[in-house]
Structures are given as structure tokens and as C-alpha cells.
């Protein structure tokens, strides 16, 4: 069971994940199904506050449902997991997940989904010198107790992210950071996260590209691109979006105007099985967090 307490924090922290005390809070983006996180905490300041990386997930809740939260990690006692939300009257509340030998598990059994908003999961370190991976899962159940299908959990105004978890490829993979920056990161549901761990990154080359296979021809209404936001990097200014039904003949649906952007939301209104992002450049690297292909 959760321990329910009022949580007296400022509204700006709850809504945007601003830094609190000595901690660096990282907004990991919407949680839909399962996701992996990796927090570290290495320094304690003079008054005993742990300095390091702590992570906040927002819950993608598009249907009325009960939610089960599960966190698995090798050493659950080095972590703390809390659920925060705004109540019916705008009050800020928090429940702390209880530990077991494998991690954490708690479920909202008797709550009113229409009265609780801005639900977030906060994962942070309880002690210094921690470098901890974990897997966080949010299972959504209908009023009948049955698990809601993933397409329901991923919906946005009746549309579904067709690219989520689908096979992806890219022209090359940059090895200079020493971490995996392969094509699958652009369809893992993480629109923000660790830089460079949660990015795709090609080599610096002529016309680098990334593409996803939707499995069959689909009706595509829009495509969203979540750019790398490192302030020292101006990424993907020469970006072009292309759609194909057979992977051979490509139709260009959008060419960017070389302005700096964080998120692109491009209306398409066509159909296809393959979506490609390409840079029209003599020498550049494609580097971004996520590509969503929305359709019905």
C-alpha cells in the first residue's frame, strides 16, 4: 500500500522538474509501459545533501484506469521511488512506494482518475556513491481489472504512435561517446533523457539517415521529432522527412528551414510503411532523442 501524505513543494517543481536542494533533476519524459533508467549520486555536500542525478517520469494516461507501478533494480535499498500528482482541488500530494526484496511495487486500487492530474514518478538515490540502473513499469488496468492494451495507453486524441518499438535502422552509428547510440533509441518512448545515452547519433558523413519500418502501410497523420537539446549543439538544421510504401520509392513530406528547434510536429496526411529522416548535408551527423509517427 502507498503511504499518502500532503507534499508541500512549489508548483514549478511538480510541473517542470526544476532543481531541488542540491540535486540535479532530469525530466525523463512520458512513461508508457516499461522504461529503463540510470541514476547516479556521488557527492555529499557540507550539510549532508546528496548531489547527483535524479529522474522524474510523467505518466502517459489517456484512459480512465488504475495504475500499477513496478520498479526492479539490483539493490532497491539505494533508491527511493515516489508518485506525485495534483489533486482535485489543485493540492499537491505524494505517495511513497514500499520496498520489497526485488524493488518496489504499488497499485492505485481505489482512486478517481478524473480527479488526479499531472501524475509523475520520482526516482532518486538515498545514499552517496550510487550508480544504479532500474526498470520502471506502469501497468494500466480498466475498471474490469483487465490490462489495457498498449495502443490504448499510447493514444493521443484517437491517434497512436505507430513507430513505438518498431524495427529501425540508420546509416551508421557514432562510436566516439563510448555508449550505444543505435537506431532503436529513436523508438523507445524516451523523448528526453540522458545525453548522450538516450540519443541516436550517426557518424559525420554525407546525407546521414534514420528510418523505421511500421510493419505495413499505415495512415500517417503527423510526425514528431524530438531534437537533441544540448545548448552547444545545433542539430538537424538540414532535416528532411520522407515516406515510402515499399522502401524503394520515397516521397518527401517536409524539408526544414534551418532554424534551431527542440520539437518538430509535422502534418503529413498520407500513408506509408516506412518513414525516413535524412540530413541534406555534405558532412553532418543525425543526432536526436525520438521520432514519433502518429496515425489511426
Distance (Å, rounded) from C-alpha 44 to C-alpha 125? 12
List the single range of 28-37, 46-55, 257-266, 283-292 with lowest mean pLDDT: 46-55
How much is the pLDDT for 100?
82
Average pLDDT estimate for 46-51: 67
How much is the pLDDT for 248?
94
Average pLDDT estimate for 284-289: 95
Say yes or no to pLDDT of 172 above 90: yes
Residue bearing the bigger pLDDT, 103 or 183: 183
How much is the pLDDT for 114?
56
According to DSSP, the β-strands at 50-59 and 24-31 are: parallel
Say yes or no to pLDDT of 48 above 70: no
Nearest by Cα to 194 from 42, 18, 38: 38
Average pLDDT estimate for 279-286: 96
In the chain, where are the structural domains located?
3-153, 161-295
Distances (CA, A) of 72 to 64, 100, 185: 25, 10, 21
**Class of domain 3-153 as given by CATH:** mainly beta
Which is it for the CA torsion 62, 106, 78, 6, positive or negative? positive
Average pLDDT estimate for 256-260: 93
Average pLDDT estimate for 44-64: 73
User: Band of the pLDDT at 234, cuts 50, 70, 90?
Assistant: confident
Say yes or no to pLDDT of 36 above 80: yes
Say yes or no to pLDDT of 111 above 60: no
| Mean of per-residue pLDDT scores for the chain | 80
How much is the pLDDT for 202?
97
Question: With pLDDT > 70 as the criterion, what percentage of the chain qualifies?
Answer: 77
Predicted TM-score of the model (pTM): 0.55
Residue bearing the bigger pLDDT, 133 or 11: 133
Average pLDDT estimate for 43-63: 73
Q: Where do the H-state alpha helices sit in the chain?
A: 11-16, 150-153
User: Which CATH number, 2.60.120.260, 3.40.50.1400, 3.10.150.10, 3.30.470.20, labels domain 161-295?
Assistant: 2.60.120.260
Question: Which residues are bridge partners to 166 per DSSP?
Answer: none
Average pLDDT estimate for 15-36: 62
Question: Which residues are bridge partners to 193 per DSSP?
Answer: none
Say yes or no to pLDDT of 83 above 70: yes
Say yes or no to pLDDT of 171 above 50: yes
Report the SS3 class of residue 7: coil
Q: Do domains 3-153 and 161-295 have the same CATH topology?
A: yes
Buried b vs exposed e over 244-259: b needs ≥16 C-beta within 10 Å? bbeeeebeebbebeee
Contacts of residue 70, defined as CB under 8 A and 6 or more positions apart, other chains included, come to 103, 104, 105, 136, 137, 139
Average pLDDT estimate for 205-233: 91
User: Band of the pLDDT at 1, cuts 50, 70, 90?
Assistant: very low
How much is the pLDDT for 294?
93
Amino acid at each position: 500500500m502507498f503511504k499518502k501524505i500532503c507534499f508541500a513543494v512549489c508548483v514549478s517543481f511538480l510541473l517542470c522538474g526544476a532543481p531541488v536542494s542540491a540535486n540535479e533533476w532530469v525530466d525523463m519524459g512520458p512513461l508508457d509501459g516499461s522504461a529503463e533508467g540510470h541514476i547516479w549520486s556521488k557527492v555529499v555536500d557540507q550539510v549532508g545533501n546528496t548531489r547527483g542525478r535524479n529522474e522524474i517520469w510523467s505518466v502517459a494516461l489517456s484512459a480512465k484506469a488504475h495504475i500499477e507501478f513496478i520498479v526492479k533494480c539490483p539493490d532497491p535499498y539505494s533508491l527511493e521511488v515516489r508518485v506525485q500528482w495534483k489533486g482535485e482541488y489543485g493540492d499537491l500530494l505524494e505517495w511513497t512506494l514500499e520496498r520489497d526484496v526485488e524493488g518496489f511495487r504499488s497499485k492505485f486500487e481505489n482512486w478517481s482518475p478524473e480527479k488526479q492530474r499531472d501524475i509523475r514518478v520520482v526516482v532518486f538515490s538515498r545514499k552517496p556513491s550510487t550508480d544504479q540502473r532500474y526498470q520502471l513499469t506502469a501497468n494500466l488496468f480498466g475498471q474490469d481489472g483487465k490490462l489495457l492494451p498498449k495502443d490504448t495507453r499510447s493514444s493521443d486524441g484517437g491517434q497512436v504512435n505507430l513507430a513505438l518499438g518498431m524495427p529501425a535502422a540508420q546509416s551508421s552509428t557514432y562510436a566516439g561517446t563510448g555508449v550505444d547510440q543505435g537506431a532503436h533509441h529513436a523508438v523507445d518512448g524516451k523523448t528526453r533523457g540522458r545525453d548522450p545515452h538516450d540519443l541516436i547519433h550517426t557518424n559525420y558523413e554525407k546525407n546521414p539517415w534514420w528510418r523505421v519500418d511500421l510493419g505495413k502501410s499505415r495512415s500517417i497523420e503527423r510526425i514528431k521529432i524530438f531534437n537533441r537539446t544540448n545548448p552547444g549543439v545545433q542539430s538537424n538544421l538540414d532535416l528532411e522527412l520522407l515516406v515510402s510504401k515499399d522502401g524503394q520509392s520515397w516521397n518527401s513530406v517536409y524539408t526544414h528551414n534551418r532554424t534551431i528547434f527542440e520539437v518538430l510536429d509535422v502534418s503529413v496526411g498520407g500513408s506509408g510503411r516506412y518513414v525516413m529522416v535524412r540530413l541534406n548535408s555534405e558532412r553532418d551527423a543525425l543526432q536526436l532523442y525520438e521520432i514519433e509517427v502518429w496515425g489511426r
